[in-house]
C-alpha cells in the first residue's frame, strides 16, 4: 500500500485489507499529526503513535477522570485511544458531543475491524455498536476501518456494523505472508487435555542431545487456545514436562512458559510482555500460552512460531490467519502451526454441510448429543458437520496456503512470491509434523488396569451416576455418565489413584474437566475413599496359559505278521519198477 496523506472529503470512508507487519492503521496514524484535529482509534497503538511524534491519550477505567476529559476538550492530544466498550458507553457520550472536540475531530479509525463480526455477538457485544458513534460525531467526520483478514461475508458484516455506505472505497493489498510456512500436525485421540502434542515445542533440533533443553534454544512461540481453562491446563502439563524430562526446577519452568489471558493481572501482563519483547536469546520467556487477548494491541516483533491448538472457535478461517500472523513480524522466516484432533481425519457420511454446523463441539472429552435421538454422534457423523473449508484442509492433500488465499479472494498476481520450501507441509513433506505421539517419559505408558483399578473404576462410575440428577436437574432426556465425566477420564483416575493425593494431582490426571470447580473436591474424596476401600484387592499376576501337552501320535493298529504261503508237500520220487 502506498503512503497516504491527508483524507479529503471524497475519501471520507475507506475500508482496506492488508497483511501484517505493516498495519493499515499505521498509515493513517500520521493523519492526525498532519492535521490539527484529533483521531479516535481502537484498540491500543499508543507506543507507535508516540514514536512518530503524536501525543496519544489512552482512555480506560483507570484513566477516565475529569482532568483528562478537560485536556481532550482543550486539544492537548492528537489521538484518543479507547475500547469499543468505552466508546459506546455513557461516560464517553458527553465528551464525544462536546462542540469544540467535534470541530477538531479529523478521523475515526476502527482497527482490527474483523472483530466487529467475530466479537459482535454474545462476547463483547459493544463491537457491534461501533457504528452508533456516527450519530455523535456527525456525517462530516471521515471513518476508516482496517483489517488484515476480511473475506467477502465478513466484509459485508463490517460494512453494516460500522454503518458504511454501499459505495465505500475498498483498498486491497495481498494478505499472503510468504515468509511463514504453514504446518499441520495431529493431536492423538484422548490426549488433548494432557497436551502431550505440544511437547515437540521444546525439542532442540535434529542431532541434539534429547536429554538437554536449553531455554535460549527454544524458538519464541505463542500458542493460542480458545478457552483460558484449556490454556491453563496445557501450561501446567508442559511445565511439568520440562521438570520431569529435562530436570528443570519449578522456578525455571515457570520463567520459560507463561500464561496470558484477559483476566491476567495488569502488572503480570506488562511484565510478561516486556520480557517477551526482549529480542532473541535475551528473553527468558520462550513460550506464551494465550487466548485471543494477547493479539489486541501487543507488539511482538520476533515470534518465530504461532501454534493454534485445535480448530479455532467459530470455525472462521480468518481467526487462524489472524493468529498465525503474529509470527515473523520482523520479516524473518516463521511458522504457522495448526494442531488438529486426530478424529477430524477420515471419511464422512455426507459432504454437504449440516444445518447444525454451529452446534457441534470440538472437545472430544465432552458428550455430543444428537438433539433428536439423544445419542452420542460417531466420529464419522462429527466429521460430516465440519464446514467444507476445514474438512478439505485436514483431509485433502491440497496446498494449505492456496486454500486460505482462495478463501480471501487473493488475486493471482499477488501469489508470485510464494516459496516452495516455505509454502506448507502438504507441498513440502519435510516440514510435516504428522501425529504428535512420540514424546513420552519411560513411566508414562500408565499404570496397569488391574483388578483393584477395575474396582475403583466401578465405584467412581457409581458415584458419577449419583451426581447426574444434581448436575442435570432439568434435563429432558436421561443423561449418561459420559455427559458428566468421560470413560477415558474415569479409567485414567482409576489407574492413577495411588499418586493422586490432592487437587493439583487430580487436575494433572484429569486434564480439562468442565465440572472441576463444582465437583473437584467431591471427586477427590470419592477417589481416596475408593482407593482405601480396595486395599485388600491384590493385583493378580497375569496367568500364563497352561502348556498344552504335545499331541500324541495316533496309535497304529497292530500289524498282523505276514502269513506264510502254504508250502506244498514235496513230490515223492516215483518207485522203481521191479524186474
Is the same domain home to 115 and 195? no
CATH number of the domain encompassing residue 396: 3.40.50.300
- In 103-165, DSSP assigns E strands to 105-110, 143-145
**What's the average model confidence in pLDDT over 416-442?**
87
Looking at residue 47, what is its pLDDT? 73
Q: Is pLDDT above 50 for 579?
A: no
Full domain range(s) for residue 409: 180-435
Looking at residue 59, what is its pLDDT? 81
Higher pLDDT, 570 or 468: 468
Last residue of a domain, one of 117, 151, 172: 172
Element (H, E) at 200: none
Is the same domain home to 163 and 188? no
pLDDT band at 396 (very low <50, low <70, confident <90, very high): very high
Query: What proportions of the chain, in percent to the nearest 5, are helix, strand and coil?
Result: 40, 10, 50
Last residue of a domain, one of 435, 466, 481: 435
**What's the average model confidence in pLDDT over 337-347?**
92
**What's the average model confidence in pLDDT over 330-344?**
94
Q: Is pLDDT above 60 for 495?
A: yes
Is the same domain home to 184 and 238? yes
Most confident of 158-172, 238-252, 438-452: 238-252
Is the same domain home to 188 and 167? no
**SS3 assignment, position 57:** strand
pLDDT band at 380 (very low <50, low <70, confident <90, very high): confident
Rounded to two decimals, the pTM is: 0.67
* CA neighbor of 183 nearest in space, from 219, 212, 145, 135: 219
Q: Is pLDDT above 80 for 409?
A: yes
Among 112-116, 267-271, 292-296, 332-336, whose mean pLDDT is lowest? 112-116
| Separation in Å, CA 32 to CA 94, 106, 171, 208 | 22, 6, 20, 53
Q: Count of domains in the chain?
A: 3
Cell numbers at residue 512, please? 480439562
CA 105 to mean position of chain CA atoms = 40
Q: How many CA atoms lie within 13 A of 206 on its CB side?
A: 2
% of residues, the chain, pLDDT over 70: 76
Q: Report the length, in residues, of the chain.
A: 579
pLDDT band at 76 (very low <50, low <70, confident <90, very high): confident
Looking at residue 475, what is its pLDDT? 77
Is the same domain home to 162 and 269? no
Higher pLDDT, 18 or 6: 18
CATH number of the domain encompassing residue 488: 1.10.150
Encode pLDDT of 498-551 as tens digits.
888 889 889 888 888 989 999 999 999 999 999 888 887 765 544 455 555 555
Most confident of 40-44, 190-194, 424-428: 424-428
Q: Is pLDDT above 50 for 105?
A: yes
Is the same domain home to 210 and 161? no
Amino acid at each position: 500500500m502506498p503512503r497516504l496523506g491527508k483524507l479529503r472529503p471524497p475519501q471520507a470512508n475507506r475500508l482496506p485489507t492488508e497483511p501484517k507487519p505493516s498495519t493499515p492503521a499505521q498509515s493513517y496514524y500520521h493523519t492526525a499529526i498532519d492535521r490539527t484535529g484529533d483521531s479516535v482509534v481502537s484498540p491500543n497503538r499508543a507506543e507507535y503513535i508516540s514514536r512518530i511524534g503524536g501525543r496519544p491519550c489512552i482512555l480506560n477505567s483507570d484513566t477516565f477522570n475529569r482532568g483528562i476529559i478537560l485536556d481532550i476538550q482543550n486539544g492537548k492530544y492528537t489521538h484518543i485511544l479507547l475500547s469499543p466498550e468505552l466508546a459506546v458507553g455513557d461516560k464517553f457520550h458527553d465528551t464525544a458531543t462536546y462542540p469544540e472536540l467535534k470541530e477538531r475531530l479529523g478521523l475515526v479509525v476502527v482497527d482490527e475491524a474483523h472483530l466487529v463480526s467475530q466479537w459482535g455477538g454474545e462476547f463483547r457485544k459493544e463491537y457491534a455498536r461501533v457504528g452508533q458513534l456516527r450519530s455523535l460525531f456527525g456525517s462530516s467526520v471521515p471513518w476508516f476501518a482496517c483489517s488484515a483478514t476480511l473475506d467477502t461475508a465478513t466484509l459485508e458484516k463490517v460494512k453494516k456494523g460500522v454503518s458504511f455506505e454501499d459505495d465505500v472505497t475498498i483498498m486491497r493489498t495481498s494478505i499472503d505472508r510468504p515468509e511463514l510456512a504453514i504446518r499441520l500436525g495431529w493431536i492423538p485421540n484422548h490426549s488433548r487435555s494432557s497436551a502431550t502434542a505440544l511437547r515437540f515445542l521444546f525439542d532442540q533440533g535434529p542431532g541434539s542431545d534429547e536429554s538437554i533443553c536449553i531455554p535460549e534454544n527454544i524458538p519464541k512461540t505463542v500458542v493460542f487456545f480458545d478457552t483460558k481453562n484449556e490454556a491453563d491446563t496445557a501450561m501446567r502439563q508442559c511445565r511439568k514436562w520440562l521438570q520431569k524430562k529435562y530436570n528443570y526446577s519449578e522456578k525455571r519452568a515457570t520463567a520459560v512458559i507463561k500464561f496470558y489471558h484477559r483476566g491476567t493481572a495488569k502488572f503480570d501482563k506488562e511484565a510478561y510482555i516486556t520480557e517477551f519483547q526482549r529480542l532473541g536469546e535475551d528473553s527468558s520467556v520462550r513460550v506464551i500460552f494465550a487466548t485471543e487477548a494477547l493479539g489486541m494491541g501487543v507488539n511482538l516483533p520476533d515470534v518465530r512460531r504461532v501454534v493454534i491448538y485445535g480448530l479455532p472457535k467459530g470455525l472462521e478461517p480468518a481467526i487462524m490467519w489472524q493468529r498465525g500472523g503474529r509470527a515473523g513480524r520482523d520479516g524473518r522466516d516463521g511458522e504457522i502451526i495448526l494442531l488438529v484432533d486426530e478424529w477430524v481425519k477420515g471419511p464422512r457420511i455426507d459432504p454437504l454441510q449440516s444445518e447444525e454446523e454451529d452446534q457441534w463441539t470440538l472437545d472430544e472429552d465432552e458428550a455430543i448429543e444428537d438433539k433428536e435421538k439423544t445419542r452420542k454422534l460417531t466420529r464419522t457423523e462429527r466429521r460430516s458437520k465440519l464446514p467444507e473449508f476445514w474438512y478439505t484442509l485436514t483431509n485433502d492433500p491440497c496446498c494449505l496456503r492456496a486454500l486460505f488465499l482462495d478463501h480471501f479472494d487473493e488475486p493471482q498476481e499477488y501469489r508470485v512470491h510464494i516459496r516452495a520450501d516455505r509454502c506448507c507441509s502438504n507441498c513440502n513433506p519435510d516440514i510435516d509434523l504428522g501425529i504428535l505421539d512420540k514424546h513420552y517419559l519411560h513411566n508414562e505408558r500408565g499404570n496397569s488396569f488391574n483388578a483393584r483399578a477395575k474396582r475403583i473404576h466401578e465405584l467412581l462410575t457409581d458415584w458419577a451416576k449419583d451426581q447426574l440428577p444434581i448436575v442435570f436437574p432439568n434435563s429432558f432426556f436421561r443423561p449418561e455418565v459420559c455427559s458428566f465425566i468421560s470413560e477415558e477420564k474415569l479409567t485414567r483416575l482409576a489407574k492413577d489413584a495411588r499418586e493422586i493425593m490432592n487437587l493439583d494431582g487430580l487436575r494433572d490426571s484429569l486434564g480439562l474437566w468442565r465440572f472441576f470447580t463444582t465437583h473437584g473436591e467431591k471427586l477427590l474424596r470419592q477417589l481416596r475413599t475408593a482407593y482405601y476401600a480396595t486395599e485388600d484387592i491384590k493385583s493378580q499376576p497375569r496367568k500364563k496359559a497352561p502348556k498344552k501337552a504335545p499331541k500324541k501320535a495316533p496309535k497304529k493298529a497292530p500289524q498282523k505278521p505276514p502269513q506264510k504261503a502254504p508250502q506244498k508237500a514235496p513230490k515223492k520220487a516215483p518207485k522203481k519198477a521191479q524186474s
